[in-house]
Amino acid sequence: MPTAQTNQNDVSDQNQSCSSNLVCIPIQFMRELSSSQTALDIIKIVAHWFYEIFEAERASITLSTGDSMLSVIALEGNDAIPIGVDMPIDCTMVGRVFTTGKTECCNDLSQSEDIDCRMLLNGNIMSCLDVPLTKNDLCFGTINVGRSKKNAFNDADILRLESVAHLVSALMYIDRLTDQLRIIADTDSLTGILNRRAFLKQFGDACREKRRSRGHGIALIDLDHFKRVNDAYGHNAGDKVLIQFCRILRMVFRSNDLIARFGGEEFCIFASDITYLDFKYLLNRLLDILRSTPIDFAQGRIQVTASIGAVHTKRLINKFDKIYAQADKALYCAKNGGRDRVELVVLVKEPASGNSRGHNENLCTSARIKSRDSHQG
């Protein structure tokens, strides 16, 4: 929330010095907007300053929460409709403004049958002005200011509020574009899962979190003989296999697990706060589902299997290259042992140096957890 204390008389003097076709914006308001970090920061700052700039008893911002509802996200002043309340789009003034993208002003709320107007009236707000937050035919929500007397708003107030709302809409639109660009930068374009760069960043973030955990699992997954699929059916078929495989990954693993495509047919999983047995179960379940989910094409049916090399560790240290090396050795053992199987080892020493290992110095002879009824690849 903004921390600056504003003198209402100063704002009033500032407003009076402006002609009706100009908008005077306090410098501190612009400073706070420029230093905002998120869209929610912008919304809270705007609610605070609109309350001051428009000498209102109430200023609020509602945003869409779905096809039929709007929610009060930020509020300053009178709480006749408090933060967190969901308002229906139908039968409300705010919903109509959101739907049509057109400003509405009601200078006597006692004459309105709209649900939100009646709620404001019960809270001693007699006039309100509602402006849409729109950019490029996209409406984010609305800004509403209210006053405790009738006939409190005029055409100049509407123009001023609309003008500042355009600025706020542009900032929110830029914030949304930034989020979209961040998603594009972090996502594998074919499968929609994380790419290697984003995975490593989020893995590092997880390592810096200090929380108790039952353990952590890291798995490297390689689709068996994937080149044969591309050679026999073409790259479009290979792409379809990768996409289908990622759907299965999302279905098997938990929503907070990191799932990434490292390149080609190689994938990596990071499951935090998970026991050895639970991690083993998820890996085996993945192979079971993959075996029972062939992919049909006009040219025929593709049966895909995968090999998995995985490690489980009690304490996580931000040295992914060391952990990756252990998982890669386990993956080599899974392929060497016939493919379509899991090689899961427990790190008996944290990978702080090159001497870390699994149960034995020779990882391929360490205790193995093989998927049920392993098939030769």
pLDDT in tens, 271-299: 999 999 999 999 999 999 999 998 887 77
Between CA 339 and CA 348, with CA 342 as vertex, the angle to 5 degrees is: 135
Task: Count CB-CB contacts under 10 A for residue 244.
Answer: 17
The residue behind tokens 């933060």 is: 83
> Any bridge partners for residue 216, and if so which?
272, 313
List Cα–Cα distances, 277 to 214, 220, 248, 346, in angstroms: 11, 17, 20, 11
The residues, ordered by sequence, that sit 6+ positions from 238 with a Cβ below 8 Å of its Cβ are 226, 229, 230
The ranges of the chain with pLDDT < 70 are 1-23, 210, 348-377
Residue of 265, 343, 350, 361 marked catalytic: 265
pTM of the model as a whole: 0.59
Tokens of 99: 């739907």
pLDDT, position 20: 53
| Nearest-angstrom CA–CA distance, 66 and 58 | 25
The continuous run of DSSP H or E covering 185 comes out as helix 155-186
Please state the separation of Cα 100 from the chain's center in Å: 28
Please state the separation of Cα 360 from the chain's center in Å: 41
Closest CA to 261 of 291, 226, 230: 226
pLDDT, position 349: 59
| Nearest-angstrom CA–CA distance, 109 and 106 | 6
Please confirm, yes or no, whether 76 is among the known catalytic residues. Answer: no
Q: At what angle do helices 276-291 and 235-252 cross, to 10 degrees?
A: 140
Please state the length of the chain: 377
The residues, ordered by sequence, that sit 6+ positions from 110 with a Cβ below 8 Å of its Cβ are 121, 126
| Nearest-angstrom CA–CA distance, 45 and 74 | 9
- What ranges in the chain are assigned the alpha helix state H? 8-16, 27-34, 39-53, 93-100, 115-122, 155-186, 196-208, 226-233, 235-252, 276-291, 320-336
Helix (H, G, I), strand (E, B) or coil at 260: strand
Between CA 148 and CA 12, with CA 49 as vertex, the angle to 5 degrees is: 65
| Nearest-angstrom CA–CA distance, 93 and 79 | 17
pLDDT, position 208: 82
Per residue in 292-343, pLDDT tens?
Answer: 998 887 777 888 999 999 999 988 777 888 899 999 999 999 999 999 999 9
| Nearest-angstrom CA–CA distance, 375 and 224 | 11
pLDDT, position 41: 87
Task: Count CB-CB contacts under 10 A for residue 245.
Answer: 24
| Nearest-angstrom CA–CA distance, 41 and 213 | 32
Tokens of 290: 């993959």
